[in-house]
Structure 1
């Protein structure tokens, strides 16, 4: 048993996802795990997350729904990271990014002169060129104009860039956006985990000058570059070629195995402040986290509340907080759900209000959590209440009559819906069970298709009919203050749009919202989008996903970050003394 297991676990609940609320939560967490000079420093800290680690590359479709952002934020940092309040925070250790005057948005990026990968190769603007090329959607397979070379999860922002001016090997680049496409969330571009080592790709693809290949649209070279970018950083426990995984942050990958976890160690070529603890071990969800916590292999826990079976957090200071991720059903657009009527039938039998009350985070005054009624607009947005009114109370409680009528429109008097999610997950299993009970009277049989092998791509492949996941179908930590990721997950053609939903007007709205942050535009277009989405129901939002974050008593500098970054956003500052 953990030596400090007798310490009473302290729970703190936050009521709303707001800037002030999140800041208060972070301050509170910092107080709980405040500094102590007593005891011997522990040389290694275990970090448990509720997702998989399958790739080094968080930008791919597989990487976007893995724990790559939580695991590698301080291994592959960028010009910014997602801070605890949900917005981008500049990371000047990597360099600076400054907008320069002009009609078109133009950003000057300058890498730190001392920046170098752990294998001794300097960082350069080649890394930015690769990031843009991979995520722009510009490069497609010969003869297949709609099939991108790169398996990027989203083109948000990068598709708005006209060009990246870079001299091969240089430390600076000028990024110029297309006329009229002043992407409002540009500070999140080229951020943590987005910039992969271009020199590794160039070497593996046999391309002597990656920048020239991109600038000249050399399709043959780009195809080889894309093949490696897509699959070359796959992480199979026990089978890593470390030469392919150099780091640009305070930590680097030392090893990865089922028994020992993902081991990160101090990067001796890091030019910034040395990490306070030299070794971090990341334990993915499949590591049997309950056992790892019980045998004292874990000192930091960041999981969706109730998602990990049998964990005991005695000896941890625990914070329960609603996150920026919206728990939701993502529906297929084939089979029963090929038409909006089939999707409305399922939505009509859902007990959304009951699910939010039972599985969401209660308010500070004890009131039950409210369901989230929007896809693009965060509950702490100035326009949320007005936009959310579009739902008009639809799909709050089970309506068997409406579900039966909608089902009849599909020529089905009975139907089966397979709901997939990453398991084991008691909370999601309970949600599926509640939905099964509510939908049965309408003739809809709900099957639990959760499994340890589950990936959101199973929806696209027809292996399940619905996903139960967070923002953009992420199983674990997800979400930012900006609606970027959530919006593009419903844009036609986006690879993280796993249901393959497409609506031309919604695409236009997403494109406009991405470059116009005015309150009037946000209110008008978001309301129009929700009118369409509540009618066609490609997704059903439920509630802000609650997160449980635990820091072992005595751990210093632990700070809750209920966004896609997770608690590991500042792991290089963690110190544990016993």
Structure 2
């Protein structure tokens, strides 16, 4: 459903603050604080997260959020995960997935015998079927207004992710005595390996009973008997499906420890207890052997949104792991607590900043777009804004690749970014030919990084003859202004997907949910269509390189730099490693060990 796709796009992609994640490769592991430190089985460590836990369903629109996602990751398992080098790692101990046909694209998922929920019930294809039902939008027949409200028909599952891939599948087939599920796509889809999700998080047998059905088999029978929704011919809402969807949507939301059946795990840890707004306690799942077995007895999660308080807790050893927001002051504070055994890893995230031009309005003319882009002092921005936080920060020269990715150097050598390596005021003046167009620059004025970018860009543009209007908005207003297109130039960021290519069409295709600046190019549209259906990695990269070049050539805007972030940990934990993925340092939680 488009409303859900655009909601997720803004939640995960428009980076108003630092997005925790990717480093440009794996940073070297800092030395332990003492030569005699030894790791041991068991033990407890404390992790600080900025926001409280609120839901056991991190895939719903009400449950999505960083803390929920990280707890979900620690308490559930699945077919694969993304490591700190942005590589997709298969978990063959959980099960396997295999492509059994290219025409049509057909994928079979099989769960291994012995994989179970913490109440002893087996993880089965019914759990995969429910996950598909929620993430595909298959049953929706809703028509939406421009504000994405339902005006007729029904929208059932409030899924917080992107439905692009699974919406192209037909009704799944369950086999092998309920241990396998086979999906067939109506057209090729490049990101099929991650389309169904990396973890299996919601128990179908619990949802079934809570919705008034006998068991998981009855739930599957219900879902199998309902046809695909058609917005052009909506039907009377199905009351049984509505009960199932309503419970999936909000039934797992909670701020305190719920009925244990709503906190089931199939992963390395279990949620043992929750104190609303204060802490959450994880305990080791002693039955878990379908993945790397953890060693810690417990992990206690406390909440504090203030970076200064996080750093103070690391110093006092009342916390062991934290990811404080990276600012010059916080970086200095982290350096000061190094003598207390606190180690810090800093690197580039998957979030990057950019200056994007609106193709409607004063910059609709190509020459004016080029003139403005010639004024953007990208090197100065990197030197003055990015490098003080990360000495390795550089100008970003691609819209579709990050520096850690192999095609980055090849694409940047030919995409046209070299023509905008530094500000060229004389070239901009020549293109303006005496004109003094007024441009309105939108940015989040509550973000000091964006405010600094505005100051540098504004001063440079005015030197060339542009009249600049400060369109800065507060945190509560700027995103709406961005969605409304109330700008000529906008300073904002995307957080790239750690794997796959699905985000490229979402951003650059004409009319796409995340195309916020009215960019339209028929060749780019054709290439994004090919990209969405191309399964071969090398061919995907070739298509993305063409898109990268065309976007630069059209005067879309300019990428500026990748944001940086920090992960810090104290002397009583080892195995913590800065990561490029949305779950941050939690990506290898099973490797964390207590240090005496």
TM-score, with length taken from structure 1: 0.74
Q: Structure 1 CA distance, aligned partners of 2:76 and 2:533?
A: 28
Q: Structure 1 CA distance, aligned partners of 2:346 and 2:403?
A: 18
Instruction: Find the counterpart in structure 1 of residue 196 from structure 2.
Output: 190
Instruction: Find the counterpart in structure 2 of residue 356 from structure 1.
Output: 382
1:172 CA displacement = 1.8
Residues 1:413 and 2:438 aligned together:
yes
Instruction: Find the counterpart in structure 1 of residue 528 from structure 2.
Output: 510
CA deviations over 1:119-144 (Å, ceiling 9, x no partner): 44432212222222333344433455
Structure 1's 449 and 110: CA in aligned 2 closer, same or farther, altered over 3 A? same
SS at match of 2:172: strand
CA contact (8 A) 1:242 1:253 kept: no
Which of 216, 226, 231 aligns to 2:225? It is: 216
Residues 1:264 and 2:287 aligned together:
no
Instruction: Find the counterpart in structure 1 of residue 269 from structure 2.
Output: 251
Residues 1:301 and 2:322 aligned together:
yes
CA contact (8 A) 2:274 2:281 kept: yes
SS at match of 2:221: helix
CA deviations over 1:357-389 (Å, ceiling 9, x no partner): 34446999x7x6432222223435454344333
Instruction: Find the counterpart in structure 1 of residue 400 from structure 2.
Output: 376
Map 1:105-184 → 2, pairs under 5 A: 105-143=105-143, 149=156, 150-166=158-174, 170-178=178-186, 181=188, 183-184=189-190
CA deviations over 1:228-264 (Å, ceiling 9, x no partner): 44454456x4586665343221223345567524433
Q: Structure 2 CA distance, aligned partners of 1:54 and 1:448?
A: 32
Structure 1's 173 and 294: CA in aligned 2 closer, same or farther, altered over 3 A? same
Q: Structure 2 CA distance, aligned partners of 1:217 and 1:500?
A: 38
Q: Structure 2 CA distance, aligned partners of 1:461 and 1:265?
A: 46
Instruction: Find the counterpart in structure 2 of residue 292 from structure 1.
Output: 310
SS at match of 2:322: strand
Higher Rg: 2
Structure 1's 494 and 352: CA in aligned 2 closer, same or farther, altered over 3 A? same
Instruction: Find the counterpart in structure 1 of residue 298 from structure 2.
Output: 279
CA contact (8 A) 1:300 1:550 kept: yes
Map 1:66-77 → 2, pairs under 5 A: 66-77=66-77
1:216 CA displacement = 3.1
CA deviations over 1:519-568 (Å, ceiling 9, x no partner): 77446532442344336666743223333222323422223322334211
Which of 460, 468, 493 aligns to 2:483? It is: 460
Structure 1's 257 and 500: CA in aligned 2 closer, same or farther, altered over 3 A? farther
Structure 1's 287 and 124: CA in aligned 2 closer, same or farther, altered over 3 A? same
1:81 CA displacement = 0.5
1:89 CA displacement = 0.6
Instruction: Find the counterpart in structure 2 of residue 13 from structure 1.
Output: none
Map 1:221-240 → 2, pairs under 5 A: 221-234=240-253, 237-238=255-256
Structure 1's 173 and 41: CA in aligned 2 closer, same or farther, altered over 3 A? closer
Instruction: Find the counterpart in structure 1 of residue 571 from structure 2.
Output: 553
CA contact (8 A) 2:256 2:275 kept: yes
Q: Structure 1 CA distance, aligned partners of 2:259 and 2:431?
A: 53
Instruction: Find the counterpart in structure 2 of residue 9 from structure 1.
Output: none
Q: Structure 2 CA distance, aligned partners of 1:34 and 1:481?
A: 37
1:506 CA displacement = 3.9
SS at match of 1:247: coil
Structure 1's 271 and 385: CA in aligned 2 closer, same or farther, altered over 3 A? closer
1:276 CA displacement = 1.5
CA contact (8 A) 1:69 1:193 kept: no
SS at match of 2:567: strand
CA deviations over 1:162-185 (Å, ceiling 9, x no partner): 442126992221223335x1x444
Q: Structure 2 CA distance, aligned partners of 1:68 and 1:222?
A: 25
Structure 1's 334 and 507: CA in aligned 2 closer, same or farther, altered over 3 A? closer
1:572 CA displacement = 2.6
1:111 CA displacement = 1.6
1:401 CA displacement = 8.5
Aligned length: 539
1:431 CA displacement = 4.3
1:419 CA displacement = 2.2
Instruction: Find the counterpart in structure 2 of residue 328 from structure 1.
Output: 353
Structure 1's 299 and 51: CA in aligned 2 closer, same or farther, altered over 3 A? same
1:83 CA displacement = 0.9
Pick which of 312-321 and 198-207 moved more.
Answer: 198-207
- The answer for unaligned runs of 5 or more in structure 1 is 1-15, 473-478
Residues 1:317 and 2:343 aligned together:
yes
1:518 CA displacement = 5.2
CA contact (8 A) 2:326 2:565 kept: yes
CA contact (8 A) 1:107 1:176 kept: yes
